[in-house]
Structure 1
Amino acid sequence: MGRIGFGAMQLPTGAEQRESSAAVLRRAVELGVPLIDTAYLYGGGANEELVAAALHPYGETLVTTKVGVSGSGQLSDWRLDGRPESLRRQVDGCLRRLRVERIALLQLHRIDPEVPLADQVGTLAELVTEGKAERLGLSEVSVDELAAARSITGIASVQNRYNLIDRTHEPVLRACEEAGILFMPWRPLAHDGGAVAEVAAEVGATPAQVALAWLLARSPVVLPIPGTASLAHLAENVAAESVRLSPEQVARL
């Protein structure tokens, strides 16, 4: 299996695009993508249903989803919701939509500042004990929040925004590396041209591939999750794993 995952958020779930979206998911698995990232927030579960329709049973592919929000309709109508009873209700819905008895990697989409962290992470830990989840992850957390969560239960992954032009969470990446925690940067393709275009020309790759190759070079715990609804872009992203950057190129980037 490879080191480049797939973020399913961008896939259309409407009736007219559903089959083409499913084809992208199936092709991702064929190309050795090890992880598919979805969430309850993405269409209020519609994205999870799409993933299940296309890929269930999942075999060796790890399907991860996220909970911790409530709402319906437009994204602006959703809010953080880490109340224990809400998290349990959301997880039950995820299990049903993904057609599984246990979620391989269950992530907290965001920490709800109005609910004690111990209640949120503690509830997820209880769900692991009950067999509804196998591993737990966090999203958009600081070093201190990660440490606090780890004092409650084991954390297998962190999903934070991190790319060539946004390295705010560099300390979180290093904390994950020290602890052997998977770090999944979202929005991984962002870059500002310049040196990226120069390096791309030097190695015979696209700027997007260079952005991904740079992420892979940052740490062995990094697994980017670029998303696309295009088969061509999917193949391009997966092929980035074969792009090799020299130490000088990495330093320049």
Structure 2
Amino acid sequence: MTSTAFCIGGDLKVRRLGFGAMHLPTEPGHGRETSLAIARRAVELGITLIDTAYLYGGGANEELLAEALHPYPDGLLITTKVGVARSGSSGAWKLDGRPAVLREQVEQALRRLRVEQIDLLQLHRIDPDTPLADQVGTLRDLQTEGKIGRIGLSEVTVDELNQAREIVDIASVQNRYNLLDREHEPVLTACETARIAFLPWRPVAWGKSGAKVEIASMATELDATPTQVALAWLLGHSPVILPIPGTARIDHLEENLLAERLEMTPVHRDRLDNLSAVA
């Protein structure tokens, strides 16, 4: 039977199927009220891993989660990301991993989330204009200071992961990955070997029409939704995968969690395993 829990960093136990908050509207009004209700419902349903980032509204998403859930229940992990900032007169977003920027973003995240320590802080992307050692070293220093509990990376190669691990323990990797997009399979394999949590973003994206038909057909066979099939495949594909599907609808949130109960035969899994070759 597929395990429903994982210990990030070896000691931080979470439910493997989490929630990505990126798509929650944060502007005042009905949309925001719905977002607050969704975040609260996620916790009511037993979700213990919620993913956000400074990039999501320049911190507005973090503030939304704090409004909805603070004081946080025991066992709830809200992980956020830093390393992307607005630049120049246009205010366009760009990668920015300079130590001073990372420090400031972590300080602001602590304030917005209303915590003294971020249990899992992830570098949103590696800034190619700043030495990797400076970026990861800054997070290591913040960890030593007690402001970060565990450190993660996002959208990295195996080589970048290895370089970072020479500087500090890496607890998680968040790369694009799903049933039909397995470009980062080597990174997943590296995470399995080191027991590093692998949080796939865009976990249920669809590919070409032929693959969509196959997934829809299997969903009908299993009395499930295509999204549930995709999430169940991820949960069974590797024990270190922690999917974080996002939604702005409570009914979809509830449907997603039922993927944990979806039972697939080896034949079903073989059919899905072969889809990436045609996607």
What TM-score, normalized by structure 1, do the two folds share?
0.97
Match of 2:72 among 47, 58, 63: 58
Q: CA RMSD in A?
A: 1.4
**Paired amino acid for 2:44:** E
Match of 2:141 among 122, 126, 130: 126
**Paired amino acid for 2:229:** V
Tell me, in whole angstroms, the C-alpha distance in 2 between the residues paired with 1:76 and 1:212. 36
Tell me, in whole angstroms, the C-alpha distance in 2 between the residues paired with 1:72 and 1:201. 48
Partner of 2:103: 88
2:18–2:245 CA contact under 8 A, matched in 1: yes
Deviation at 1:65, TM superposition (A): 0.2
Partner of 1:21: 35
3-state SS of paired residue (2:50): strand
1:3–1:224 CA contact under 8 A, matched in 2: yes
Partner of 1:103: 118
Assess, with a 3 A threshold, how the Cα gap between structure 1 residues 220 and 120 changes in structure 2: closer, same or farther: same
Deviation at 1:76, TM superposition (A): 7.8
Partner of 1:12: 25
Deviation at 1:231, TM superposition (A): 0.3
Tell me, in whole angstroms, the C-alpha distance in 1 between the residues paired with 2:138 and 2:266. 44
2:15–2:49 CA contact under 8 A, matched in 1: no
1:44–1:72 CA contact under 8 A, matched in 2: no
- Equivalent residue runs for 1:43-54 within 5 Å: 43-54=57-68
**Paired amino acid for 1:218:** H
**Paired amino acid for 1:244:** E
**Paired amino acid for 2:254:** A
Match of 2:247 among 215, 228, 232: 228
Partner of 2:6: none
3-state SS of paired residue (1:78): strand
Partner of 2:233: 214
- Provide, for residues 201-237 of structure 1, a one-character-per-residue CA deviation record: whole Å limited to 9, x for no partner: 1111000000000100111111100000100000011
Tell me, in whole angstroms, the C-alpha distance in 1 between the residues paired with 2:239 and 2:172. 13
Tell me, in whole angstroms, the C-alpha distance in 1 between the residues paired with 2:136 and 2:245. 27
Tell me, in whole angstroms, the C-alpha distance in 1 between the residues paired with 2:242 and 2:65. 19
User: Percent of pairs identical after alignment?
Assistant: 66
What TM-score, normalized by structure 2, do the two folds share?
0.88
Unaligned 5+ segments in structure 1 are none
Tell me, in whole angstroms, the C-alpha distance in 2 between the residues paired with 1:112 and 1:97. 24
**Paired amino acid for 2:245:** P
Paired residues, what number? Answer: 252
3-state SS of paired residue (1:172): helix
Tell me, in whole angstroms, the C-alpha distance in 1 between the residues paired with 2:72 and 2:65. 9
Tell me, in whole angstroms, the C-alpha distance in 2 between the residues paired with 1:6 and 1:71. 26
Unaligned 5+ segments in structure 2 are 1-13, 273-279
**Paired amino acid for 1:178:** T
3-state SS of paired residue (1:166): coil
Deviation at 1:2, TM superposition (A): 3.1
Tell me, in whole angstroms, the C-alpha distance in 2 between the residues paired with 1:217 and 1:199. 16
Tell me, in whole angstroms, the C-alpha distance in 1 between the residues paired with 2:250 and 2:28. 19
1:6–1:226 CA contact under 8 A, matched in 2: yes
- Equivalent residue runs for 1:101-180 within 5 Å: 101-180=116-195
Partner of 1:78: 93
2:121–2:151 CA contact under 8 A, matched in 1: yes
